[in-house]
Amino acid sequence: MAANAAHPDLLVRTSEVPTLRPLSRLRELAAAREVLANLVRKEVRVRYKASVLGAGWSMLNPLLYLAVFTLVFQRFLGRGVPNFAVYLLSGLLAWQLFAGSLTAAARSVVDNASLVTKVYFPREILPLAAVGSTLVDFALHGVVLLLFILGTRHDVLGPGLALLPLSFAALLVLATALSLWVAALNVRYRDTQHLLGLVLLVWFWLTPVVYPSGHLYRSLAPHRLFGLPLFHVYLANPMAAVVAGFQRALYGTVYDPTTGAPLLFPVSVGWLAVLNASVLAGALVLLLLAWRTFFHLSGDFGEEL
């Protein structure tokens, strides 16, 4: 920041232009794609540096979740779900990309303070690199899920599979938008990274990753809130729609073959497609707003770090 000579009380941003021009900024980001790729590689290397198993630790993570939740929900609570491994891992695949992106992005600018204060580059690259490195883990988690699908001979070749690219697009845009937002806020308010952990913990249990979404539907469907079906109010949680899309695409068993009770949301593939398209549209608007917020605050990063 610098003082204007004619108006000494007016502060002028010096590291960025005052207004975000999206098309011009996108060209600048495209020109810096090698920087982004290098930062993604650095994030991945640092994550597994001096590790014996390396990227294998990322593949062990969903297996640990599977062991714990199988023991608790399938054995102790008796909440049997056919082929629970595929059900759980399909939801975790989406959730861990979302939560991992936000967690890594929150510290992306702070942890690269020396780079921010010495070299000019589009600052958006830092949270984008955090999302990019989490995509590597997403691919590894996908391998674990694929092995369980093949090992259990679970049939995923149904019409629901068409939901996967749409749900993934909605997830990626939503994660990127919120990553830009928390990365910028954490520079000014360092409590953001600590609060984020609590928010994600509550959000995880509000999203049907572990428990059957069909059971949740049966509990909410008969009730209304302010005249609206409570189930529709619940779908204000965008991750519920995204996880439901992943589960319908990769698990696909809507009704329990033994009891006939719904395991997934008992709605059509088209209904879920419209729901995920709505999440994608809302996430694109959120991305633009978060990008503007990040850009507005990024001019002060050098002074605040």
Would you state the pLDDT for residue 157?
82
Would you state the pLDDT for residue 118?
85
* CA dihedral (20, 24, 28, 33) positive or negative: positive
Would you state the pLDDT for residue 10?
38
**Considering the entire predicted model, what is its pTM?**
0.89
What single-letter amino acid sits at 108? S
Would you state the pLDDT for residue 117?
86
Would you state the pLDDT for residue 22?
83
Residue 131 CA to residue 133 CA, distance in Å, equals: 6
Would you state the pLDDT for residue 4?
43
Q: What is the DSSP string of the chain?
A: -EE-SSSTT-EE--SS-SS--HHHHHHHHHHTHHHHHHHHHHHHHHHTTT-SSTTHHHHHHHHHHHHHHIIIIIIIS----TTHHHHHHHHHHHHHHHHHHHHHHHTTTGGGHHHHHH--S-TTHHHHHHHHHHHHHHHHHHHHHHHHHHHHT----SGGGGHHHHHHHHHHHHHHHHHHHHHHHHHH-THHHHHHHHHHHHHHHHSTTSS-HHHHHHHHTT-EETTEEHHHHHTTSHHHHHHHHHHHHHT---B-TTT--BSS--S-HHHHHHHHHHHHHHHHHHHHHHHHHHHHHHTTHHHH-
For each of the chain's 305 residues, which pLDDT tens digit applies? 444 444 444 343 445 666 788 888 889 989 989 999 999 998 888 877 756 566 677 778 888 888 888 887 766 555 678 889 999 999 999 999 999 999 999 999 999 988 888 888 889 999 999 999 999 999 999 999 999 999 988 888 889 999 999 999 999 999 999 999 999 999 988 899 999 999 999 999 999 999 899 989 999 989 988 888 999 999 999 999 999 999 999 999 999 888 888 999 999 999 999 999 999 999 999 999 999 999 999 887 877 76
Would you state the pLDDT for residue 17?
60
What single-letter amino acid sits at 153? R
Would you state the pLDDT for residue 305?
67
Residue 2 CA to residue 212 CA, distance in Å, equals: 56
